[in-house]
Chain A
Amino acid sequence: MAVILDVRNLSKSFGGLVAIDDLSLEVERGTIHAIIGPNGSGKTTFFNLATGLYTPDSGEILFEGERISGLPPHVIAHKGIGRTFQNLLLFGDMTAVDNVMVGLQCRNRYSLVEAILRTGSAVTDQMYKEATKLLDFVRLGGSRDQPSKYLSYGEQRLLEIARALGTNPRLILLDEPAAGMNPQETILLTKTIRRIRDELGVTVVIIEHDMRLVMNLAERVSVLDYGRKVSEGPPEVIKNDPKVIEAYLGVTEE
Protein backbone atom coordinates (compact mmCIF):
# COMPACT_ATOMS: atom_id res chain seq x y z
CA MET A 1 0.00 0.00 0.00
CA ALA A 2 1.20 3.41 -0.92
CA VAL A 3 1.73 6.31 1.41
CA ILE A 4 -0.70 9.17 0.68
CA LEU A 5 0.50 11.63 3.32
CA ASP A 6 4.14 11.65 4.31
CA VAL A 7 5.16 13.93 7.18
CA ARG A 8 8.90 14.35 7.66
CA ASN A 9 10.52 15.91 10.71
CA LEU A 10 7.87 18.57 11.02
CA SER A 11 8.33 21.33 13.60
CA LYS A 12 6.27 24.41 14.40
CA SER A 13 6.53 26.82 17.33
CA PHE A 14 4.45 29.82 18.32
CA GLY A 15 6.78 32.14 20.19
CA GLY A 16 8.28 29.98 22.92
CA LEU A 17 5.64 27.29 22.62
CA VAL A 18 6.68 24.25 20.64
CA ALA A 19 3.40 22.99 19.15
CA ILE A 20 4.85 20.34 16.84
CA ASP A 21 8.24 18.91 17.63
CA ASP A 22 10.08 16.89 14.98
CA LEU A 23 6.98 14.94 13.98
CA SER A 24 7.24 12.18 11.39
CA LEU A 25 4.14 10.32 10.31
CA GLU A 26 2.93 8.24 7.40
CA VAL A 27 -0.68 7.79 6.39
CA GLU A 28 -1.35 4.84 4.10
CA ARG A 29 -3.79 5.25 1.24
CA GLY A 30 -7.20 3.74 1.96
CA THR A 31 -6.86 3.60 5.74
CA ILE A 32 -8.71 5.26 8.57
CA HIS A 33 -5.94 6.77 10.65
CA ALA A 34 -6.67 8.28 14.05
CA ILE A 35 -4.58 10.91 15.80
CA ILE A 36 -5.14 11.08 19.54
CA GLY A 37 -3.49 12.85 22.42
CA PRO A 38 -4.30 15.09 25.36
CA ASN A 39 -5.53 18.67 24.84
CA GLY A 40 -2.81 20.91 23.53
CA SER A 41 -0.72 18.05 22.19
CA GLY A 42 -0.62 19.59 18.69
CA LYS A 43 -3.28 17.61 16.83
CA THR A 44 -5.13 20.56 15.33
CA THR A 45 -1.85 22.37 14.67
CA PHE A 46 -0.84 19.36 12.62
CA PHE A 47 -4.07 19.64 10.57
CA ASN A 48 -3.46 23.35 10.10
CA LEU A 49 0.03 22.63 8.83
CA ALA A 50 -1.20 19.91 6.48
CA THR A 51 -3.87 22.16 4.97
CA GLY A 52 -1.74 25.26 4.55
CA LEU A 53 -3.02 27.57 7.29
CA TYR A 54 0.47 27.51 8.86
CA THR A 55 3.84 26.99 7.25
CA PRO A 56 6.19 24.68 9.14
CA ASP A 57 9.38 26.06 10.73
CA SER A 58 11.21 23.00 9.47
CA GLY A 59 10.43 19.68 7.93
CA GLU A 60 8.01 18.98 5.10
CA ILE A 61 4.73 17.35 4.21
CA LEU A 62 4.32 15.33 1.02
CA PHE A 63 0.89 14.56 -0.40
CA GLU A 64 0.96 11.78 -3.02
CA GLY A 65 4.68 12.35 -3.28
CA GLU A 66 4.40 16.07 -3.90
CA ARG A 67 5.57 18.67 -1.39
CA ILE A 68 2.57 20.67 -0.14
CA SER A 69 3.90 22.36 3.00
CA GLY A 70 4.07 26.11 2.42
CA LEU A 71 1.34 26.17 -0.23
CA PRO A 72 -1.75 28.31 0.51
CA PRO A 73 -4.95 26.56 1.70
CA HIS A 74 -6.95 26.96 -1.51
CA VAL A 75 -4.19 25.34 -3.57
CA ILE A 76 -3.98 22.39 -1.19
CA ALA A 77 -7.78 22.04 -1.36
CA HIS A 78 -7.51 21.83 -5.15
CA LYS A 79 -4.80 19.18 -4.83
CA GLY A 80 -7.22 16.89 -3.01
CA ILE A 81 -7.17 17.40 0.76
CA GLY A 82 -10.47 18.25 2.40
CA ARG A 83 -11.02 19.06 6.05
CA THR A 84 -13.55 19.85 8.76
CA PHE A 85 -13.08 22.09 11.79
CA GLN A 86 -13.15 21.47 15.50
CA ASN A 87 -15.00 24.75 16.07
CA LEU A 88 -17.47 24.51 13.16
CA LEU A 89 -16.81 27.01 10.39
CA LEU A 90 -19.91 26.91 8.21
CA PHE A 91 -21.34 29.59 5.94
CA GLY A 92 -24.14 30.27 8.45
CA ASP A 93 -26.63 32.24 6.38
CA MET A 94 -26.29 29.94 3.38
CA THR A 95 -28.46 26.85 3.06
CA ALA A 96 -26.99 23.39 3.60
CA VAL A 97 -27.04 22.74 -0.12
CA ASP A 98 -25.29 26.05 -0.88
CA ASN A 99 -22.59 25.20 1.65
CA VAL A 100 -21.88 21.97 -0.19
CA MET A 101 -22.01 23.77 -3.54
CA VAL A 102 -19.15 26.04 -2.45
CA GLY A 103 -17.17 22.85 -1.93
CA LEU A 104 -18.28 21.45 -5.28
CA GLN A 105 -16.95 24.54 -7.06
CA CYS A 106 -13.49 23.38 -6.11
CA ARG A 107 -13.81 20.62 -8.73
CA ASN A 108 -13.63 23.04 -11.65
CA ARG A 109 -11.74 26.25 -12.15
CA TYR A 110 -13.55 28.89 -14.10
CA SER A 111 -12.30 32.09 -15.58
CA LEU A 112 -14.27 35.21 -14.75
CA VAL A 113 -16.23 35.22 -18.01
CA GLU A 114 -16.97 31.51 -17.78
CA ALA A 115 -18.13 31.94 -14.21
CA ILE A 116 -20.60 34.63 -15.23
CA LEU A 117 -21.83 32.62 -18.19
CA ARG A 118 -22.32 29.57 -15.99
CA THR A 119 -25.45 30.98 -14.47
CA GLY A 120 -27.68 28.81 -16.64
CA SER A 121 -30.18 26.86 -14.62
CA ALA A 122 -28.88 23.59 -16.13
CA VAL A 123 -25.50 24.06 -14.45
CA THR A 124 -27.05 25.10 -11.16
CA ASP A 125 -29.49 22.17 -11.27
CA GLN A 126 -26.62 19.76 -11.89
CA MET A 127 -24.65 21.16 -8.94
CA TYR A 128 -27.77 21.11 -6.79
CA LYS A 129 -28.25 17.42 -7.60
CA GLU A 130 -24.65 16.56 -6.75
CA ALA A 131 -24.83 18.52 -3.51
CA THR A 132 -28.08 16.75 -2.58
CA LYS A 133 -26.40 13.41 -3.23
CA LEU A 134 -23.64 14.28 -0.78
CA LEU A 135 -26.15 15.52 1.79
CA ASP A 136 -28.06 12.24 1.43
CA PHE A 137 -24.76 10.43 1.92
CA VAL A 138 -24.35 11.99 5.38
CA ARG A 139 -28.13 11.65 6.00
CA LEU A 140 -28.86 15.37 5.85
CA GLY A 141 -30.98 15.31 2.69
CA GLY A 142 -34.06 16.40 4.61
CA SER A 143 -32.48 19.65 5.79
CA ARG A 144 -30.93 20.64 2.49
CA ASP A 145 -32.76 23.95 2.08
CA GLN A 146 -32.34 25.07 5.70
CA PRO A 147 -29.90 27.87 6.49
CA SER A 148 -26.99 25.99 8.03
CA LYS A 149 -27.06 28.03 11.25
CA TYR A 150 -30.47 26.54 12.08
CA LEU A 151 -29.15 22.96 12.03
CA SER A 152 -28.38 21.14 15.26
CA TYR A 153 -24.79 20.84 16.42
CA GLY A 154 -24.50 17.24 15.25
CA GLU A 155 -26.07 18.10 11.89
CA GLN A 156 -23.65 20.98 11.42
CA ARG A 157 -20.75 18.56 11.93
CA LEU A 158 -22.22 16.27 9.27
CA LEU A 159 -22.71 19.23 6.94
CA GLU A 160 -19.03 20.12 7.31
CA ILE A 161 -18.16 16.59 6.25
CA ALA A 162 -20.48 16.82 3.21
CA ARG A 163 -18.99 20.18 2.27
CA ALA A 164 -15.45 18.83 2.52
CA LEU A 165 -16.43 15.80 0.42
CA GLY A 166 -17.76 18.26 -2.15
CA THR A 167 -14.22 19.37 -2.95
CA ASN A 168 -13.63 15.83 -4.24
CA PRO A 169 -10.75 15.01 -1.88
CA ARG A 170 -8.65 11.89 -1.88
CA LEU A 171 -7.73 12.57 1.73
CA ILE A 172 -10.10 14.02 4.31
CA LEU A 173 -9.02 15.37 7.72
CA LEU A 174 -11.78 15.26 10.34
CA ASP A 175 -11.17 17.36 13.45
CA GLU A 176 -13.23 15.95 16.35
CA PRO A 177 -16.29 15.11 14.25
CA ALA A 178 -18.10 13.49 17.20
CA ALA A 179 -17.73 16.44 19.59
CA GLY A 180 -21.16 17.47 20.87
CA MET A 181 -22.94 14.44 19.39
CA ASN A 182 -25.19 12.16 21.40
CA PRO A 183 -24.48 8.38 21.45
CA GLN A 184 -26.92 7.58 18.61
CA GLU A 185 -25.48 10.32 16.43
CA THR A 186 -21.98 9.03 17.17
CA ILE A 187 -22.93 5.51 16.05
CA LEU A 188 -24.32 6.90 12.79
CA LEU A 189 -21.21 9.04 12.37
CA THR A 190 -19.00 5.99 12.79
CA LYS A 191 -20.88 4.25 9.99
CA THR A 192 -20.71 7.35 7.80
CA ILE A 193 -16.95 7.67 8.24
CA ARG A 194 -16.50 4.02 7.35
CA ARG A 195 -18.62 4.55 4.23
CA ILE A 196 -16.48 7.55 3.23
CA ARG A 197 -13.54 5.17 3.01
CA ASP A 198 -15.37 2.10 1.67
CA GLU A 199 -17.77 3.66 -0.83
CA LEU A 200 -15.98 6.87 -1.84
CA GLY A 201 -12.46 5.49 -1.51
CA VAL A 202 -11.28 8.52 0.46
CA THR A 203 -8.48 8.10 2.98
CA VAL A 204 -9.52 9.40 6.41
CA VAL A 205 -7.40 11.00 9.12
CA ILE A 206 -9.43 11.67 12.25
CA ILE A 207 -8.71 13.57 15.47
CA GLU A 208 -11.04 12.31 18.16
CA HIS A 209 -11.39 12.15 21.92
CA ASP A 210 -14.14 9.53 21.91
CA MET A 211 -11.99 6.44 22.47
CA ARG A 212 -14.78 3.99 21.65
CA LEU A 213 -15.16 5.59 18.26
CA VAL A 214 -11.40 5.57 17.68
CA MET A 215 -10.99 1.95 18.71
CA ASN A 216 -13.98 0.94 16.58
CA LEU A 217 -12.97 2.78 13.49
CA ALA A 218 -9.27 3.30 13.16
CA GLU A 219 -6.89 0.82 11.65
CA ARG A 220 -3.92 2.76 12.83
CA VAL A 221 -3.51 5.22 15.70
CA SER A 222 -0.80 7.83 16.28
CA VAL A 223 -0.52 9.30 19.76
CA LEU A 224 0.80 12.84 20.18
CA ASP A 225 2.00 14.44 23.39
CA TYR A 226 3.64 17.88 23.54
CA GLY A 227 3.89 17.88 19.75
CA ARG A 228 5.84 14.64 19.64
CA LYS A 229 4.68 11.24 18.49
CA VAL A 230 4.89 8.99 21.54
CA SER A 231 3.33 5.88 20.11
CA GLU A 232 1.86 4.42 16.95
CA GLY A 233 0.21 1.18 15.93
CA PRO A 234 -3.07 -0.69 15.65
CA PRO A 235 -5.67 0.29 18.28
CA GLU A 236 -5.31 -2.91 20.34
CA VAL A 237 -1.63 -2.25 20.82
CA ILE A 238 -2.09 1.44 21.58
CA LYS A 239 -4.70 0.72 24.23
CA ASN A 240 -2.17 -1.11 26.37
CA ASP A 241 0.94 0.96 25.64
CA PRO A 242 2.27 2.32 28.95
CA LYS A 243 3.54 5.46 27.18
CA VAL A 244 0.03 6.31 26.04
CA ILE A 245 -1.39 5.79 29.51
CA GLU A 246 1.38 8.02 30.80
CA ALA A 247 0.54 10.77 28.31
CA TYR A 248 -3.11 10.78 29.31
CA LEU A 249 -2.92 10.04 33.03
CA GLY A 250 0.60 11.09 34.03
CA VAL A 251 3.20 8.90 35.74
CA THR A 252 2.86 7.43 39.17
CA GLU A 253 5.87 7.92 41.37
CA GLU A 254 6.95 4.81 43.10
Chain B
Amino acid sequence: MAASRLASKEVRQVLGIGAVCLVPVVLRNNYYIHLANAAMITMIVATGLNLLTGYCGQISIGHAAFWAVGAYTSALLTTRLGWSFWAALPASGLVAAVLGYVIGRPTLRLKGAYLAIASIGVGEIVQLVLLNWTKGTGGALGIKGIPFPRLLGFELATEFQLFYLIFAVFLTIFGVTDGIVRSPLGRAFLAIRQNEVAAQFMGVDIARLKVLAFVISTAYAGVAGSLFAHLQGYISPYGFGFKESVGILCMALAGGMGYRWGPVIGVLLLTIARESFRYFQDYQLVVYGLLLIVVIVFMPKGVAGSVPELVDKWRGRLRRRGQRRGQPT
Protein backbone atom coordinates (compact mmCIF):
# COMPACT_ATOMS: atom_id res chain seq x y z
CA MET B 1 0.00 0.00 0.00
CA ALA B 2 2.85 2.32 0.85
CA ALA B 3 4.40 1.67 -2.55
CA SER B 4 1.20 2.45 -4.42
CA ARG B 5 0.72 5.62 -2.42
CA LEU B 6 4.27 6.67 -3.28
CA ALA B 7 3.70 5.91 -6.96
CA SER B 8 0.48 7.87 -7.03
CA LYS B 9 2.23 10.82 -5.37
CA GLU B 10 4.91 10.79 -8.06
CA VAL B 11 2.32 10.46 -10.78
CA ARG B 12 0.50 13.45 -9.33
CA GLN B 13 3.74 15.46 -9.30
CA VAL B 14 4.51 14.65 -12.93
CA LEU B 15 0.94 15.48 -13.96
CA GLY B 16 1.09 18.75 -12.03
CA ILE B 17 4.37 19.80 -13.62
CA GLY B 18 3.04 18.77 -17.04
CA ALA B 19 -0.06 20.88 -16.53
CA VAL B 20 2.00 23.96 -15.62
CA CYS B 21 4.15 23.39 -18.72
CA LEU B 22 1.01 23.70 -20.83
CA VAL B 23 0.13 27.09 -19.30
CA PRO B 24 1.95 29.25 -21.90
CA VAL B 25 0.52 27.12 -24.71
CA VAL B 26 -2.98 27.72 -23.38
CA LEU B 27 -2.46 31.41 -22.57
CA ARG B 28 -0.84 32.19 -25.94
CA ASN B 29 -1.16 35.92 -25.33
CA ASN B 30 2.35 37.29 -24.69
CA TYR B 31 1.13 39.69 -22.04
CA TYR B 32 -0.48 36.91 -20.01
CA ILE B 33 2.64 34.77 -20.27
CA HIS B 34 4.63 37.76 -19.07
CA LEU B 35 2.31 38.05 -16.06
CA ALA B 36 2.80 34.35 -15.34
CA ASN B 37 6.57 34.83 -15.51
CA ALA B 38 6.49 37.81 -13.17
CA ALA B 39 4.16 35.89 -10.85
CA MET B 40 6.55 32.93 -10.63
CA ILE B 41 9.42 35.30 -9.81
CA THR B 42 7.31 36.86 -7.07
CA MET B 43 6.50 33.37 -5.81
CA ILE B 44 10.20 32.70 -5.31
CA VAL B 45 10.52 35.78 -3.08
CA ALA B 46 7.27 34.92 -1.27
CA THR B 47 8.48 31.35 -0.69
CA GLY B 48 11.55 32.73 1.07
CA LEU B 49 9.40 35.07 3.15
CA ASN B 50 7.16 32.15 4.05
CA LEU B 51 10.17 30.24 5.33
CA LEU B 52 11.33 33.26 7.33
CA THR B 53 7.99 34.47 8.67
CA GLY B 54 5.64 31.49 8.36
CA TYR B 55 8.06 28.91 9.71
CA CYS B 56 10.67 30.80 11.70
CA GLY B 57 8.39 33.61 12.90
CA GLN B 58 10.67 36.53 11.92
CA ILE B 59 9.22 39.47 10.00
CA SER B 60 10.90 41.38 7.19
CA ILE B 61 9.28 44.34 5.45
CA GLY B 62 12.37 45.10 3.44
CA HIS B 63 12.74 42.09 1.24
CA ALA B 64 12.46 44.06 -1.99
CA ALA B 65 15.95 45.31 -1.08
CA PHE B 66 17.43 41.83 -1.53
CA TRP B 67 15.40 41.35 -4.67
CA ALA B 68 16.98 44.57 -5.93
CA VAL B 69 20.46 43.47 -4.91
CA GLY B 70 20.00 40.26 -6.89
CA ALA B 71 18.71 42.13 -9.93
CA TYR B 72 21.54 44.69 -9.89
CA THR B 73 24.20 42.04 -9.29
CA SER B 74 23.02 40.06 -12.28
CA ALA B 75 22.60 43.17 -14.43
CA LEU B 76 26.06 44.51 -13.62
CA LEU B 77 27.83 41.16 -13.97
CA THR B 78 26.33 40.50 -17.41
CA THR B 79 26.46 44.01 -18.88
CA ARG B 80 29.77 45.27 -17.49
CA LEU B 81 31.81 42.11 -16.93
CA GLY B 82 30.27 39.99 -19.65
CA TRP B 83 29.38 37.10 -17.35
CA SER B 84 26.95 34.54 -18.65
CA PHE B 85 23.49 34.41 -17.13
CA TRP B 86 24.20 30.96 -15.74
CA ALA B 87 27.05 32.27 -13.60
CA ALA B 88 25.26 35.50 -12.70
CA LEU B 89 22.14 33.69 -11.43
CA PRO B 90 23.82 31.85 -8.51
CA ALA B 91 26.14 34.82 -7.93
CA SER B 92 23.09 37.06 -7.41
CA GLY B 93 21.71 34.64 -4.83
CA LEU B 94 25.11 34.55 -3.14
CA VAL B 95 25.58 38.32 -3.01
CA ALA B 96 22.07 38.80 -1.61
CA ALA B 97 22.73 36.05 0.95
CA VAL B 98 26.01 37.64 2.06
CA LEU B 99 24.26 40.98 2.49
CA GLY B 100 21.46 39.13 4.28
CA TYR B 101 23.99 37.66 6.70
CA VAL B 102 25.64 41.03 7.35
CA ILE B 103 22.27 42.66 8.01
CA GLY B 104 20.62 39.68 9.68
CA ARG B 105 23.29 39.17 12.35
CA PRO B 106 22.58 42.43 14.19
CA THR B 107 18.91 43.01 13.31
CA LEU B 108 17.58 39.55 14.18
CA ARG B 109 18.42 40.21 17.80
CA LEU B 110 15.40 42.51 17.67
CA LYS B 111 11.93 41.12 18.15
CA GLY B 112 8.51 41.74 16.63
CA ALA B 113 7.79 45.33 15.68
CA TYR B 114 11.41 46.42 16.19
CA LEU B 115 12.63 43.87 13.68
CA ALA B 116 9.92 45.00 11.25
CA ILE B 117 11.00 48.64 11.59
CA ALA B 118 14.68 47.78 11.15
CA SER B 119 13.84 45.84 7.99
CA ILE B 120 11.96 48.84 6.58
CA GLY B 121 15.12 50.86 7.22
CA VAL B 122 17.22 48.33 5.34
CA GLY B 123 14.86 48.54 2.39
CA GLU B 124 15.07 52.33 2.30
CA ILE B 125 18.88 52.36 2.57
CA VAL B 126 19.33 49.94 -0.32
CA GLN B 127 16.96 51.93 -2.51
CA LEU B 128 18.77 55.19 -1.69
CA VAL B 129 22.11 53.63 -2.57
CA LEU B 130 20.75 52.35 -5.88
CA LEU B 131 19.34 55.77 -6.64
CA ASN B 132 22.34 57.88 -5.69
CA TRP B 133 25.38 55.76 -6.44
CA THR B 134 25.18 56.78 -10.08
CA LYS B 135 28.59 55.45 -11.07
CA GLY B 136 27.87 51.93 -9.86
CA THR B 137 24.17 51.51 -10.45
CA GLY B 138 23.30 54.03 -13.12
CA GLY B 139 21.28 56.03 -10.61
CA ALA B 140 17.72 56.91 -11.48
CA LEU B 141 18.28 55.85 -15.10
CA GLY B 142 18.87 52.26 -14.05
CA ILE B 143 20.61 49.68 -16.22
CA LYS B 144 19.62 49.02 -19.82
CA GLY B 145 20.38 46.24 -22.24
CA ILE B 146 20.52 43.31 -19.86
CA PRO B 147 21.04 40.34 -22.17
CA PHE B 148 18.64 37.44 -22.46
CA PRO B 149 19.87 34.11 -21.09
CA ARG B 150 21.49 31.77 -23.64
CA LEU B 151 21.00 28.04 -23.58
CA LEU B 152 23.05 25.74 -25.88
CA GLY B 153 23.80 28.66 -28.16
CA PHE B 154 20.18 29.81 -28.40
CA GLU B 155 18.94 33.01 -26.90
CA LEU B 156 15.90 32.62 -24.64
CA ALA B 157 14.36 35.85 -25.85
CA THR B 158 10.61 35.30 -25.83
CA GLU B 159 8.27 35.24 -22.87
CA PHE B 160 7.31 31.73 -23.98
CA GLN B 161 10.89 30.45 -23.70
CA LEU B 162 11.63 32.31 -20.50
CA PHE B 163 8.55 30.76 -18.91
CA TYR B 164 10.23 27.35 -18.84
CA LEU B 165 13.50 28.73 -17.47
CA ILE B 166 11.74 30.60 -14.67
CA PHE B 167 9.49 27.62 -13.95
CA ALA B 168 12.53 25.34 -13.63
CA VAL B 169 14.18 27.71 -11.16
CA PHE B 170 10.94 28.08 -9.20
CA LEU B 171 10.50 24.31 -9.07
CA THR B 172 14.03 23.85 -7.74
CA ILE B 173 13.49 26.45 -5.04
CA PHE B 174 10.10 25.02 -4.12
CA GLY B 175 11.65 21.54 -3.83
CA VAL B 176 14.57 22.74 -1.69
CA THR B 177 12.17 24.63 0.58
CA ASP B 178 9.97 21.57 0.92
CA GLY B 179 13.05 19.57 1.90
CA ILE B 180 14.04 22.14 4.53
CA VAL B 181 10.53 22.29 5.96
CA ARG B 182 10.28 18.51 6.36
CA SER B 183 13.78 18.18 7.83
CA PRO B 184 14.82 18.55 11.47
CA LEU B 185 15.85 22.08 10.51
CA GLY B 186 12.26 22.89 9.50
CA ARG B 187 10.96 21.50 12.76
CA ALA B 188 13.46 23.66 14.64
CA PHE B 189 12.27 26.74 12.68
CA LEU B 190 8.68 25.97 13.65
CA ALA B 191 9.69 25.49 17.26
CA ILE B 192 11.24 28.98 17.25
CA ARG B 193 8.03 30.49 15.88
CA GLN B 194 5.90 28.60 18.38
CA ASN B 195 7.93 29.29 21.48
CA GLU B 196 11.37 30.80 21.31
CA VAL B 197 12.14 30.38 25.01
CA ALA B 198 11.20 26.71 25.11
CA ALA B 199 13.07 26.03 21.87
CA GLN B 200 16.42 27.13 23.27
CA PHE B 201 16.08 24.81 26.26
CA MET B 202 15.51 21.96 23.79
CA GLY B 203 18.93 22.63 22.32
CA VAL B 204 17.85 24.85 19.44
CA ASP B 205 20.44 27.56 18.72
CA ILE B 206 17.82 30.23 18.07
CA ALA B 207 20.20 33.07 17.20
CA ARG B 208 21.97 30.98 14.55
CA LEU B 209 18.82 29.51 13.04
CA LYS B 210 17.06 32.87 12.77
CA VAL B 211 20.02 34.22 10.80
CA LEU B 212 20.02 31.05 8.70
CA ALA B 213 16.33 31.44 7.82
CA PHE B 214 16.98 35.08 6.94
CA VAL B 215 19.99 34.20 4.76
CA ILE B 216 18.03 31.51 2.89
CA SER B 217 15.15 33.92 2.25
CA THR B 218 17.48 36.66 1.03
CA ALA B 219 19.25 34.20 -1.27
CA TYR B 220 15.86 33.33 -2.81
CA ALA B 221 15.11 37.02 -3.24
CA GLY B 222 18.50 37.46 -4.93
CA VAL B 223 17.84 34.63 -7.39
CA ALA B 224 14.40 36.06 -8.11
CA GLY B 225 16.01 39.45 -8.73
CA SER B 226 18.40 37.97 -11.27
CA LEU B 227 15.54 36.30 -13.17
CA PHE B 228 13.60 39.56 -13.04
CA ALA B 229 16.50 41.56 -14.51
CA HIS B 230 16.89 39.18 -17.44
CA LEU B 231 13.15 38.95 -18.02
CA GLN B 232 12.76 42.74 -18.17
CA GLY B 233 16.04 43.60 -19.84
CA TYR B 234 15.97 46.89 -17.94
CA ILE B 235 15.92 47.70 -14.23
CA SER B 236 15.67 50.90 -12.22
CA PRO B 237 15.58 51.58 -8.47
CA TYR B 238 11.86 52.36 -8.58
CA GLY B 239 10.62 48.81 -8.86
CA PHE B 240 12.12 47.70 -5.54
CA GLY B 241 10.69 49.97 -2.85
CA PHE B 242 8.63 49.77 0.30
CA LYS B 243 5.47 49.23 -1.79
CA GLU B 244 6.95 46.10 -3.36
CA SER B 245 8.14 44.77 0.00
CA VAL B 246 4.71 45.22 1.51
CA GLY B 247 3.06 43.80 -1.59
CA ILE B 248 5.02 40.54 -1.42
CA LEU B 249 4.42 40.24 2.32
CA CYS B 250 0.68 40.75 1.71
CA MET B 251 0.66 38.05 -0.93
CA ALA B 252 2.40 35.60 1.39
CA LEU B 253 -0.02 36.51 4.19
CA ALA B 254 -3.11 36.17 2.02
CA GLY B 255 -1.93 32.82 0.71
CA GLY B 256 -1.22 31.46 4.17
CA MET B 257 1.98 31.76 6.19
CA GLY B 258 3.45 28.44 7.26
CA TYR B 259 1.74 26.46 4.50
CA ARG B 260 3.84 25.29 1.60
CA TRP B 261 1.28 26.27 -1.05
CA GLY B 262 0.59 29.58 0.70
CA PRO B 263 2.96 31.78 -1.34
CA VAL B 264 1.84 30.23 -4.64
CA ILE B 265 -1.85 30.75 -3.87
CA GLY B 266 -1.32 34.25 -2.50
CA VAL B 267 0.69 35.48 -5.50
CA LEU B 268 -1.78 33.97 -7.99
CA LEU B 269 -4.74 35.43 -6.14
CA LEU B 270 -3.44 38.97 -5.84
CA THR B 271 -1.93 39.00 -9.34
CA ILE B 272 -5.28 38.00 -10.82
CA ALA B 273 -7.09 40.54 -8.61
CA ARG B 274 -4.72 43.32 -9.63
CA GLU B 275 -5.03 42.54 -13.33
CA SER B 276 -8.82 42.21 -13.17
CA PHE B 277 -9.08 45.71 -11.79
CA ARG B 278 -6.36 47.33 -13.82
CA TYR B 279 -8.91 49.42 -15.76
CA PHE B 280 -9.80 51.10 -12.47
CA GLN B 281 -6.17 52.12 -12.11
CA ASP B 282 -6.99 54.73 -9.47
CA TYR B 283 -8.82 52.26 -7.29
CA GLN B 284 -6.40 49.39 -7.80
CA LEU B 285 -4.79 49.76 -4.40
CA VAL B 286 -8.18 50.16 -2.74
CA VAL B 287 -9.39 46.89 -4.20
CA TYR B 288 -6.11 45.28 -3.28
CA GLY B 289 -6.46 46.48 0.30
CA LEU B 290 -10.11 45.44 0.57
CA LEU B 291 -9.25 41.97 -0.63
CA LEU B 292 -6.54 41.74 1.97
CA ILE B 293 -8.90 42.84 4.74
CA VAL B 294 -11.46 40.23 3.66
CA VAL B 295 -8.80 37.52 3.72
CA ILE B 296 -7.47 38.55 7.12
CA VAL B 297 -10.91 38.87 8.74
CA PHE B 298 -12.45 35.71 7.34
CA MET B 299 -9.35 33.61 6.79
CA PRO B 300 -6.78 34.60 9.41
CA LYS B 301 -4.56 31.68 8.42
CA GLY B 302 -4.63 32.70 4.78
CA VAL B 303 -6.29 30.81 1.96
CA ALA B 304 -4.08 27.73 2.31
CA GLY B 305 -4.74 27.49 6.04
CA SER B 306 -8.34 28.57 6.36
CA VAL B 307 -10.08 27.06 3.32
CA PRO B 308 -9.57 23.43 4.44
CA GLU B 309 -10.89 24.39 7.90
CA LEU B 310 -13.94 26.14 6.41
CA VAL B 311 -14.64 23.16 4.15
CA ASP B 312 -14.48 20.84 7.18
CA LYS B 313 -16.87 23.10 9.06
CA TRP B 314 -19.40 23.22 6.23
CA ARG B 315 -19.19 19.48 5.75
CA GLY B 316 -19.84 18.94 9.45
CA ARG B 317 -22.79 21.32 9.35
CA LEU B 318 -24.28 19.58 6.32
CA ARG B 319 -23.82 16.19 7.95
CA ARG B 320 -25.51 17.34 11.16
CA ARG B 321 -28.37 18.84 9.20
CA GLY B 322 -28.76 15.56 7.32
CA GLN B 323 -28.81 13.60 10.54
CA ARG B 324 -31.39 15.88 12.10
CA ARG B 325 -33.62 15.49 9.09
CA GLY B 326 -33.25 11.73 9.21
CA GLN B 327 -34.20 11.50 12.88
CA PRO B 328 -37.80 10.70 13.75
CA THR B 329 -39.38 13.54 15.69
Contact = CB atoms under 8 A, between A and B. Distances in A.
**A and B form one complex:** yes
Interface of A: 51, 53, 72-74, 77-78, 82-83, 85, 89-94, 98, 101-103, 105-106, 110, 112, 115-119, 124, 127, 163-164, 166-167
Nearest to B190: A94
Contacts of A167: 202-203
B7 interface: no
A129 to B, nearest CB: 15
Contacts of A103: 202-203
B180 to A, nearest CB: 6
Contact of A124 (B182, B188, B198, B205): B182
A94 B182 contact: no
A119 B202 CA distance: 20
A124 B179 CA distance: 12
A84 to B, nearest CB: 9
Contact of B197 (A82, A89, A98): A89
A90 B200 CA distance: 12
Contact of A102 (B176, B191, B212): B191
Interface of B: 176, 179-180, 182-185, 187-188, 190-191, 194-195, 197-206, 212
Contact of A90 (B187, B195, B203): B195
B114 to A, nearest CB: 21
Given A89-B195, A115-B185, A74 B212 contact: no
A112 B176 CA distance: 12
Contact of A78 (B176, B185, B194, B203): B203
B200 A77 contact: yes
A93 B184 contact: no
Nearest to A93: B194
Given A116-B179, A167-B203, A91 B198 contact: yes
Given A90-B194, A103-B202, A116-B180, 10 more contacts: A73-B200, A77-B201, A82-B201, A89-B198, A92-B194, A115-B185, A117-B183, A118-B183, A164-B202, A166-B202
A212 to B, nearest CB: 28
A249 to B, nearest CB: 34
